[in-house]
Structure 1
Amino acid sequence: MKDRAAEHSVEERYSQWKSLVPVLYDWLANHNLVWPSLSCRWGPKVEQATYKNRQRLYLSEQTDGTVPNTLVIANVEIVKTRVAAAEHIAQFNEESRSPFVKKSKTIIHPGEVNRIRELPQNNKIVATHTDSPDVLIWDVERQPTRQPVLGATASRPDLILTGHRDNAEFALATCPMEPFVLSGGKDKSVVLWSIHDHISSLAADQGAQKSPGSKGSAVNGKAADGSIVQPRGIFLGHEDTVEDVQFNPSSSQEFCSVGDDSCLILWDARSGSSPIAKVEKAHDADLHCVDWNPNDLNLILTGSADNTVRMYDRRSLTSGGVERGVGSPVHIFEGHTAAVLCVQWSPDKASVFGSAAEDGMLNIWDHGKVGNAGTEKSDYPPGLFFRHAGHRDKVVDFHWNAADPWTIVSVSEDGEKTGGGGTLQIWRMIDLIYRPEEEVIAELDRFKSHLLSCSS
């Protein structure tokens, strides 16, 4: 009876959300997936036009084994702000695919694609994790498209990064400053690689080698001879599986990690392979995700199976002279009713971030609004200013679009409810929600004046 009531509650929430879509969103594209996706990432802008831009999008396809798992490169048409009509935004069918999302290439992946990360220094290169100890590096332009049919051999990665002694399933990051890759795994270690020399040689060898994936060039996804990369460093300090890792956005030597031991650890490769700071009980349960603020380097977010997001100031982790005490979070954000799976800072505004969870919600927060709400009692937790309720099961991943900062892509495992394998949504909340209050009031006043003049 409890499950049936919960199911009813989800459908009720979804119906209410759908009726409010034209009011809440400037644009929304709903795309039903054939197979569930565990990761989604924006790639480079491909084409710019008057009313919309075309941009690359990376997706995973997690199949049931009847066909191979794949890494998908798609092109997405993103409608510019204030271009889509409210009628168009409201007219989507949750059981159909969006005409705005078009698959352009399929790479047969050796195992499930658990995580995808693009390389900031070269927009043709992505790193992926699967259920193995290795990190796989792909030149997505160099790789040929492959048909995922039963019995097809896996595409050959351009590089394989080795160093883990057990599976490295989810913890994966690339560095904004240098072509470095960071990974964490079940072996409780954090591993760092430099692929600087290798990506240079990939470009030089592009015309000289056989196409990866062509006959005889791929054996169970193994890379060609000489394409194995050894680690630059292995960092030990966790007591359980490392679930997520992230670089300091302004340093290739500083990074952080979280894990199933409930710890948040800060590292500096220049100081050796031991932690420079460790929060022993950063949450009350396993930690699933971490992100480092690109616009305020002191702030780090963590998300956990205890349903909360916590914000830490790294100065209180490394000094001890802060009033809150070493290891204490600056704030605990309580707005989810299930485990938080993904957190990410906005690329555009230092105080804004998103969190996605197993409760099917993707919450947008502004920590600058915490403590500034006045004395009025609110039904919402401090800092929460938007809830995306378009998914009907756990939201496994999302990504802010750096090229179009308030546009977000998100994926969920709600295939049973949509007649497919899952749902991908690309959406942008209406700008009246996030623009400065004085601008919004002035604009609404102009609308009021216009309406009054029309009615007179």
Structure 2
Amino acid sequence: MKGEKGRSVEEKYTQWKSLVPVLYDWLANHNLVWPSLSCRWGPQLEQATYKTRQRLYLSEQTDGSVPNTLVIANCEVVKPRVAAAEHISQFNEEARSPFVKKYKTIIHPGEVNRIRELPQNSKIVATHTDSPDVLIWDVEVQPNRHAVLGAADSRPDLILTGHQENAEFALAMCPTEPFVLSGGKDKLVVLWSIHDHISTLAKEQGPTKSPGSTSTSTKHASKGGGGNDNHVEGPSVEARGIYQGHEDTVEDVQFCPSSAQEFCSVGDDSCLILWDARAGSTPAIKVEKAHNADIHCVDWNRHDINLILTGSADNTIHMFDRRNLSSGSPVHKLVGHSAAVLCVQWSPDKSSVFGSSAEDGILNIWDHEKIGKRQDTAGLKAPNAPPGLFFQHAGHRDKVVDFHWNTSDPWTIVSVSDDCESTNGGGTLQIWRMIDLIYRPVDEVLAELDKFKPHILGCEKN
């Protein structure tokens, strides 16, 4: 069975690769030395005529022969309609992309399971590892380290404490305040404020008390689970709030885009819970059976704060309307993956569009407004496509563990997969943008192309 599955993945990949010049405006393929469990865009650094330069945050999950690291890379993002079709199709799966260059390495105490950037200051990032603590890093001030065996861990700029057991994956940053949210194996959702520490991060001065936090101290943070007995030292902040309501591990958390006091969480108990910090530490609304299995991921729509997405080990994505959560029924059940859904994320560019990635190696792009409409498969060119699905990114050959829409560069996505067996490396990072004919009305694209006609005719005359 395994060989059969392997062939089907390879066949799907081969077919996908032949369609790259037709489906993509730009694609960069980067073979990683070590697997990365998380990828995030950082701040845009520079605008040029044909491309922009932007920070990219990655991790390196090693086998122990060298330390685990948090990687800050510089990425060159080619602007729309610049890349030639033959150029984007000519990539070697085993090569590193010239568009991605490592800028700085932080030696991380334990493997990096999740990275999140602070919206108010995207050079501040939080990381989750196999430990109860959340680590905060100022990636610009942190010294560049050489990751060799025996090298000491980098010192986090802040340690957020409050979990009683390992908190490995559930992590979110608040869009409106410098708040951090986390969930863990202790079934708890924990909230912190890092407000007074942003200006003093990575400075060797005494820690100051954060308004609203229980206490601040310099501590040796505990290391759990990861087989790494090193202690993490640095100023620490205790939680503002601890929220109890889940009956199993909390797998993902997310803030309401318009409120620092409202957030949601999902977990292995198949529950979706909405919280309101103003109303205490118990659930505001609890959907008991939001899926038929563990829920791995959740995202809250920044354009329409009534819409919440969840992705589950039952292979489905559910879209909930928070005005009707008491019914327990999703607005839409989307079936387009053949394995557990690992990541869901609303597009920053169009309110009805979102992406989902899964253990089947596919990253799907959906538009819930297309559900029930005849043209909902036009971009996909598949007559049996699930309702709402309009694009499939099949460039990864194993589970797509994370992806992130680029807020600075419309319709551009970075995605990472753990496919080291098929690429002779640690996994694959891809940066890609589908061709705009897929998501824009044809008449709109043709009208834009009309503007170039005088220029093209002028070139022909010359």
TM-score (norm. length: structure 2):
0.90
1:44 pairs with 2:43: yes
Which residue matches 2:393? 388
Counterpart contact for 1:158–1:223, Cα < 8 Å: no
Which residue matches 1:372? 373
Which residue matches 1:235? 243
The offset of 1:198, in angstroms, is 1.4
What residue identity is the alignment partner of 1:416? E
Counterpart contact for 1:157–1:221, Cα < 8 Å: no
1:304 pairs with 2:309: no
Q: Which of 404, 412, 424 is the matching residue for 1:399?
A: 404
Q: Deviations over 1:138-164 (max 9, x none)?
A: 011111011111111110101000000
Counterpart contact for 1:153–1:221, Cα < 8 Å: no
What is the correspondence of 1:332-351 to structure 2 with a 5 Å cutoff? Answer: 332-351=333-352
Structure 2: how far apart are the matches of 1:446 and 1:99? 33
Structure 2: how far apart are the matches of 1:176 and 1:220? 33
Which residue matches 1:187? 186
Q: Deviations over 1:249-274 (max 9, x none)?
A: 11100000000000000000000000
What residue identity is the alignment partner of 1:63? T
What is the correspondence of 1:311-322 to structure 2 with a 5 Å cutoff? Answer: 311-317=319-325, 320=326
Structure 1: how far apart are the matches of 2:206 and 2:270? 48
What residue identity is the alignment partner of 1:422? G
What is the correspondence of 1:6-405 to structure 2 with a 5 Å cutoff? Answer: 6-202=5-201, 205=203, 220=230, 222-224=232-234, 227-317=235-325, 320=326, 326-373=327-374, 378-405=383-410
Gaps of 5+ in 1: 210-218, 321-325
Structure 1: how far apart are the matches of 2:448 and 2:73? 37
What is the correspondence of 1:423-438 to structure 2 with a 5 Å cutoff? Answer: 423-438=428-443
The offset of 1:447, in angstroms, is 10
Q: CA RMSD in A?
A: 2.2
Comparing 142-151 with 74-83, greater Cα deviation is found at: 142-151
Counterpart contact for 1:373–1:382, Cα < 8 Å: no
The offset of 1:87, in angstroms, is 1.0
Counterpart contact for 2:376–2:389, Cα < 8 Å: no
Q: Deviations over 1:267-324 (max 9, x none)?
A: 000000000000000001000000000011000000000000000000002xx5xxxx
Structure 2: how far apart are the matches of 1:80 and 1:245? 33
Structure 2: how far apart are the matches of 1:208 and 1:280? 45
Structure 1: how far apart are the matches of 2:50 and 2:410? 17
Structure 2: how far apart are the matches of 1:313 and 1:195? 31
Counterpart contact for 2:163–2:188, Cα < 8 Å: yes
Structure 2: how far apart are the matches of 1:81 and 1:296? 27
1:439 pairs with 2:444: yes
What residue identity is the alignment partner of 1:285? A
Counterpart contact for 2:363–2:393, Cα < 8 Å: yes
Structure 2: how far apart are the matches of 1:262 and 1:246? 16
Percent same amino acid among aligned pairs? 78
Structure 2: how far apart are the matches of 1:44 and 1:207? 27
Structure 2: how far apart are the matches of 1:358 and 1:375? 24
Structure 2: how far apart are the matches of 1:231 and 1:350? 33
What residue identity is the alignment partner of 1:398? F
Counterpart contact for 1:109–1:221, Cα < 8 Å: no
Counterpart contact for 2:39–2:59, Cα < 8 Å: yes
The offset of 1:435, in angstroms, is 1.1
The offset of 1:199, in angstroms, is 1.3
Going from structure 1 to structure 2, the CA distance change for 1:328 and 1:208 (only over 3 Å counts) comes to closer
Q: Secondary structure at the match of 2:260?
A: coil
Going from structure 1 to structure 2, the CA distance change for 1:434 and 1:163 (only over 3 Å counts) comes to same
What residue identity is the alignment partner of 1:346? S
Q: Secondary structure at the match of 1:257?
A: strand
Say how many residue pairs are matched.
432
Going from structure 1 to structure 2, the CA distance change for 1:446 and 1:8 (only over 3 Å counts) comes to farther
Gaps of 5+ in 2: 208-228
The offset of 1:123, in angstroms, is 2.1
The offset of 1:207, in angstroms, is 8.8
